[in-house]
Amino acid sequence: LCFWPGLCVSLKHNSSFACYTLLAKGDFPAELNIPIPFSLVSNDVSRDRLVVMPGYWFLYNMYALARNSGKYVSRDKRIDKTQLLEYDYLAPDSVEEMFQALEIFGKLLGGKKHKHDKEFTVEGFEHSKRKVVLLKVPQADALFREMIVYYGVTQLLEWANAHPNIRSWKQWTTQLPAKPERKG
């Protein structure tokens, strides 16, 4: 699932979006490249800028993510379910995009803790000369870290449930798949 355009959204061809990007109503005059998942993207026409709120779904609409995961499973009416489809919002692709977003956040935050909601200016998110700002970066950084850990734990538990004969930590460590290599 790439993105959800709101009603009355107009986009330039060849825009690209990370998972679960929500576009607010409006005309987006240039190509977009939104690499941060779970974001709300909107036009601030009065200030001639693009506004991106990373982690929007986790901050304001987590219920919809959880509800939709279950809804997609119940709507899958395929007779032959040989092909595995992932319905959860936390999946290898979205988690990898969160790792990449953490790298962006790290450059913006510079290793410092920011307690207030500062706007961060970024480049490369829109093919134009207008300003692009990210909101709530410290909150998104913390949420993405939490969700990555949550995903890892749920995957370990799923694996453990599928392998009930493994009963010691030593067996676990020898049976777990090799550490995957991350891109970039």
Q: What is the pLDDT of residues 132-164, one digit of tens each?
A: 999 999 999 999 999 999 999 999 888 888 888
Q: What per-residue confidence (pLDDT) applies to 110? A: 87
Strand 131-134 vs strand 120-122: parallel, antiparallel, or unpaired?
antiparallel
Q: What is the pLDDT of residues 92-102, one digit of tens each?
A: 999 999 999 99
Q: What per-residue confidence (pLDDT) applies to 7? A: 67
Q: What per-residue confidence (pLDDT) applies to 65? A: 83
pLDDT at 1 over 60: no
Yes or no: say if 121 and 167 are a contact pair by the CB < 8 Å rule: no
Provide the 8-state DSSP code for 20: T
Yes or no: say if 26 and 44 are a contact pair by the CB < 8 Å rule: no
DSSP 90-111: SSHHHHHHHHHHHHHHHHHHTT
Mean local confidence (pLDDT), 167-178: 79
Q: What is the 3-state secondary structure (H, E, C) of 114-133?
A: CCCCCCEEECCCECCCCEEE
Query: Tell me, what amino acid is at 34?
Result: I
